[in-house]
Amino acid sequence: MNIKKRLDILIKNAAIYTMDSENSILHGGMIGIADSKILFIEKMGSVEEYEILTEIDAEGKVVFPGFVNTHIHIFQSFLKGLGADHRLIEWLNLSALPYGEVMSARQQFLAAQLACMEAIKSGCTTLAEFFYTSQDEELAHAVISGMQSTGIRSVFIRTFQDTGEEYGMPKCFLEPVSTAMRKVDNLVKQYGRSPEDMLTIWTGPCVTWATTREGYEGMLEYCRSEKMPYSMHINETLVDNEMCERYYGKKAVDLLEEIGFLSEDFLAVHCVNLTENEMDRFKEHDVKVSHNPMANLYLGSGVAPIPELLKKGVVVSLGTDGAASNNSTDMMETLKIASLIQKGYHRDAAIITAGEMLQAVTVGGAKALHKEKTLGTLEVGKKADVIIYNPDQLKSTPMNDVPATLIYSSGHENIETTIVNGKIVYNKGVFEGVDEQSVIAEVKAEAAKLIKSLKL
């Protein structure tokens, strides 16, 4: 008697955009998933040797690698619309900072569910949470637990601030770098051996105007000893350069280079204001970029030089940023805006292509998070983080060109199935293990309580 091999999921009859180094596309293909990985990607053929647990017929649909969101602040999902139409520092003082100071663990947990579910629904399989509210350890655990309940893969970036009161940074957010790194280390000890690489702990200073030189140096020492990548907001507005010039007599990038902060381990968020020479130095040090176009437009920060960075060979990924400056966690919206702002700004429709956007949200995201060996493309042996796109919506019909339809004519309603680590976490409007309506109801009640508590 032949014992059949187990296949957890078989996706058949699909158009498969692998995003591999040759950009291979397989029409009429099938993907076999077992033990969280891609076991095979082939033209349709016999699967008799397998015992198939779940079979998905993807006839007429397109399969992509799951999208990677390299920058979000989960707690802001409770703050949509607060501080609207204000400039960055005023906006921070009307939304993120005061409310981030008082949110409870339960509210942080719910914010994580809300943000991750919206992300999953729009095709995201991995996100990087940049955690910068009150650094009570219970809150970090609440966010992690909320993320985990949705089945999403994540990088939890436990950040720190050791100055910045003049810009409104709440005192309770501030801590010496030694305390911060000890707490980062506690998280690594608790979650560092996360099975299947579902959760990775990073750190980073929140922003240049809330970090001292000692802060950078202490963090770098820890990160180097732990081989841990780090992230920071940089040059989102001109405030970064103004502050660095005032205190250090040099611009932000110059200061960071001098300290040894510019490196392959640095994920630089925003980078709206970069000179040609600064971009060259990013390339030289292999700094990775997280581009957050929705937030840059919402806060009037400007347009990041993405075509220029891509031309220089800098790794560019995409982020939604927090939902108080977006105001959602929808990757599909981000893809469209990221492309259109460059075309308009440069007055050149050819400046960036749909294919480049797709590259940034898959391969670019995986590289930015140092996970390109396991994520970002659909290849045998890689983690099965996969999405199934259904073009049968009014908006996306007819699908004459697949990347163009995905980027310019789609919404989250086109994402039919999201698979993370070989498990279906979302399928045809239903989440596995979390009830969308219950989450919405509890978020509404808790958000009302939060807003009432401050009366700003």
Interacting residues with Zn ion (CB under 5 A): 321
Q: How far is the CB of 344 from Zn ion (least distance, A)?
A: 23
Name which of 71 and 382 has its Cβ closer to Zn ion: 71
Q: How far is the CB of 374 from Zn ion (least distance, A)?
A: 25
| Residue 170 backbone phi and psi in degrees, to 5 | -60, 140
d(CA 456, CA 99): 10
Name which of 7 and 268 has its Cβ closer to Zn ion: 268
Residue 11, C-beta contacts closer than 8 angstroms, at least 6 positions apart: 30, 31, 33, 56, 58, 63, 386, 388
Residue 453, C-beta contacts closer than 8 angstroms, at least 6 positions apart: 102
Name which of 299 and 314 has its Cβ closer to Zn ion: 299
d(CA 88, CA 235): 12
Show the DSSP H helices in 325-401 as ranges: 331-346, 354-359, 365-368
Going by DSSP bridges, is the β-strand pair 386-389/62-65 parallel, antiparallel, or unpaired? antiparallel
Q: How far is the CB of 295 from Zn ion (least distance, A)?
A: 7
Name which of 321 and 385 has its Cβ closer to Zn ion: 321
Q: How far is the CB of 128 from Zn ion (least distance, A)?
A: 10
Q: How far is the CB of 396 from Zn ion (least distance, A)?
A: 30
Name which of 265 and 321 has its Cβ closer to Zn ion: 321
Name which of 67 and 298 has its Cβ closer to Zn ion: 298
Q: How far is the CB of 123 from Zn ion (least distance, A)?
A: 21
Q: How far is the CB of 132 from Zn ion (least distance, A)?
A: 8
For helices 252-259 and 276-284, angle between their N-to-C axes, nearest 10 degrees: 20
Q: How far is the CB of 322 from Zn ion (least distance, A)?
A: 6
SS3 category, 198: coil
Name which of 15 and 72 has its Cβ closer to Zn ion: 72
Q: How far is the CB of 319 from Zn ion (least distance, A)?
A: 7
Q: Answer yes or no: are the C-beta atoms of 295 and 301 closer than 8 Å.
A: yes
Name which of 19 and 143 has its Cβ closer to Zn ion: 143
Q: Which two tokens stand for residue 144?
A: 């992690």
d(CA 361, CA 318): 6
d(CA 243, CA 88): 15
Instruction: Supply angle C-alpha 69, 230, 169, rounded to 5.
Output: 90
CA dihedral for 316, 213, 164, 225, sign (positive or negative): positive
98's torsion region: left (phi>0), alpha (psi -120 to 50) or beta? Answer: alpha
R_g of the chain computed on alpha carbons = 22
Helix, strand and coil percent figures for the chain, each rounded to 5: 40, 25, 35
Name which of 129 and 321 has its Cβ closer to Zn ion: 321
Name which of 278 and 321 has its Cβ closer to Zn ion: 321
Q: Answer yes or no: are the C-beta atoms of 374 and 383 closer than 8 Å.
A: yes
Number of residue whose CB is nearest Zn ion: 321
Residue position matching structure tokens 């305390």: 179
Residue position matching structure tokens 């949470």: 129
Name which of 125 and 301 has its Cβ closer to Zn ion: 301
